Copies of this chain bind each other. A is one copy, B any other.
Amino acid sequence: MMTSNSIELKEYLRERVALVDAALDRWLPEKDVLPPRLHEAMRYSVFAGGKRLRPILIIAACEAVGGVPERVLHAACAMEMIHTYSLIHDDLPAMDDDDLRRGQPTNHKVFGEANAILAGDALLTEAFRLLADTEANRGIDPAVSLRVIETISRCAGSQGMVGGQVVDMESEGKSLDFATLQYIHTRKTGALFRASLQAGAWIGGGSDGEVAALTRYGETAGLAFQIADDILNIVGSQAEIGKDVGSDHARGKATYPALLGLSEARRRAEELRDLAIAALEPLGANAEPLRAIARYVVDRTS
C-alpha cells in the first residue's frame, strides 16, 4: 500500500473512531447511575481499547451508498456493545478463562464473575434498546429499523455468533476439519461482519444492488480478517495483539494457519481481500475506505 493511502486511511479511521467513542459515551449510562458498579463494568470493557472495526464498517457502508456517519451511529454503537458483551462472556472462567484482553485485566478479573456476566447481559440488551431508540431512529423508515434488528439478532443468536462460540468450545483440543473451522468463523465473526455492512447500507438508503455488493464485501472481507487475526496470533508481537503470542495454539484452538499452513493461509487471505475489493466495483469512489481497510488488514500480516 502506498504511504499516502496509509495516511488517508489512518485519518479516516481516527475521525470515525472519535465519532463512535463520543456516541458510546453519550448513550451508555454514566458510572454514577444506579447501579454504579454495573455501569462501571459495562464502560470498563467498552472503553478498553477496541479498534471499533464493526462500527467503522457500518459507517463506511453507509458512506459508500452516500449516507452520512451520524445516520448510523446508533447502529454502530449497538454493534460494538454486542461485540463487547461477547468478549466479556468469552473470557469468563467457565469459557476461555482469560485473564487479559487487549493487554488489560478482563472484566471478571476486575469486577467479579457475577458482575461480568451481568455487564455482558446488559450490554446485549442495551444494544437492542439503542437499535429501537425513538430519538436515534428519527427519520429512518421503521420497517428498515426492524429489518436491521432482525438481521443483527439472527447473526448474533443461536445459529449465529452464540452458536459459533458453542462449537468453538466443543472443538477445543480436538483435531478439527476445515468444514468445522469454517462453521465456527462464519458464525462467530462472519455473520455480524456481514450484518454490519448490511445495516449501514440499508440505513444509508442503498439500492438493492449496492446492498448486494456490500453484503458480498462483508462475507469475503470478514473471513479475510479472521484468517489475518489467526496469522497475527502466530507471527505478531504481543503489543500488537494484546494477548500472549501463540496463545491460540497453546490452548489447542483450531486456526487457519494450523490447518492450512502459514503460507497457504496467507494466500487465502489475499485471495479473499481481492474478492472483497472486486465486490465493491459498482460503488465507485465512496467505497474507497472499505477497499483501504481490506488491504490494510490483510497486508499487515506479511
A residues apposed to B, CB below 8 Å: 29, 33-35, 37-39, 42, 85, 89, 92, 94-95, 112-115, 117-118, 120-122, 124-126, 128-129, 131-134, 137, 141-143, 145-147, 149-150, 153-154, 156-160, 162-163, 165-167, 169-170, 183
A122 and B158 form a contact (CB under 8 A):
yes
In the docked arrangement, what's the CA distance between A149 and B145, Å? 11
Report which of B42, B137, B149, B150 forms a contact with A158, defined as CB distance below 8 A: B42
| A38 in contact with B166 (CB, 8 Å) | yes
A156 to B123 CA separation, bound complex (whole angstroms): 11
Given A142-B143, A165-B118, check contact A126 B33 (CB 8 Å): no
Question: Provided the pairs A117-B117, A125-B157 are in contact, do residues A162 and B38 lie with their beta carbons within 8 angstroms?
Answer: yes
Report the Cα distance A274→B117, complex, angstroms: 38
CA of A150 to CA of B170, assembled, Å: 35
A166 touches B95 (CB 8 A): no
Within 8 Å by CB of A94, from B117, B141, B156, lies B117
What are some 30 contacts across the A-B interface (CB < 8 A)? A34-B163, A35-B158, A35-B167, A38-B158, A38-B166, A42-B158, A85-B121, A89-B117, A89-B121, A94-B112, A95-B114, A114-B169, A115-B166, A118-B162, A118-B165, A121-B124, A121-B162, A122-B157, A122-B163, A124-B125, A125-B158, A125-B160, A126-B153, A128-B149, A129-B157, A132-B146, A132-B150, A132-B153, A133-B150, A142-B142
Contact (Cβ within 8 A) B94 A162: no
Whether the pair B92, A162 counts as a contact (CB closer than 8 A) is no
